[in-house]
Chain A
Amino acid sequence: QQQVKQSPQSLIVQKGGISIINCAYENTAFDYFPWYQQFPGKGPALLIAIRPDVSEKKEGRFTISFNKSAKQFSLHIMDSQPGDSATYFCAASTQGGSEKLVFGKGTKLTVNP
């Protein structure tokens, strides 16, 4: 059973456009929702994270929107750049079980110049 469902599987946007990646979860005990960014040949790296006590978190061009009632959260990349081309993973964990971070299946983002 997939605990975190991520969509779309792949995404192509033009430079300067907005990239949106969505995730949904079922386990209401999840209380930590990070996004990881992975470039080819490298390990994932934390991009931004949110807790359910806030509905939005912004860091530069990257924003997480969180809808607790719908059990959904999304990553928005404003003014997308070719250097943003990477695979993005959403994830979730519970405070008590943060040893078991559960990942979505990933979204491959391509930003065309």
Chain B
Amino acid sequence: NAGVTQTPKFQVLKTGQSMTLQCAQDMNHEYMSWYRQDPGMGLRLIHYSVGAGITDQGEVPNGYNVSRSTTEDFPLRLLSAAPSQTSVYFCASRPHRGDNSPLHFGNGTRLTVT
């Protein structure tokens, strides 16, 4: 039982490049989400999903796309990276939508856009 696995751990992109941050969980959780963490800003919700085929926007969705084709995976896509997207990205999951069970976080992807 690996929990929430994020890959890669580190990534450097040039402005305008695209990439996908991977997130997988093996706990059969319905709910998955992406947060970004910036110094002095806390954790801000980018996108979330309450089940396969269902996604919705969080607080800071611009510049990011998501899809949820399976229960296990929830990739985050940057279509055209910008320096403002330099951040640490965390994927998190919980068993069900609408409950307050703990969020299980991955260990993050540190992204630098030059």
Contacts and interface: CB of A to CB of B under 8 A. Distances in A.
A9 B58 CA distance: 24
Interface of B: 4, 31, 33, 35, 40-45, 48, 50, 56, 58-59, 90, 92, 97-100, 102-103, 105-108
A43 B90 contact: yes
A103 B42 contact: yes
B41 A98 contact: no
Interface string A55-94: 0000000000000000000000000000000000100010
Contact of A43 (B40, B48, B106): B106
Interface of A: 6, 9, 32, 34, 36, 41-46, 49, 89, 93, 95-96, 98-106
Contacts, number: 62
A99 B95 CA distance: 11
Nearest to A97: B98
B45 A101 contact: yes
A101 B92 CA distance: 11
A95 B92 contact: no
A96 B99 CA distance: 8
Contact of B100 (A42, A43, A98, A104): A98
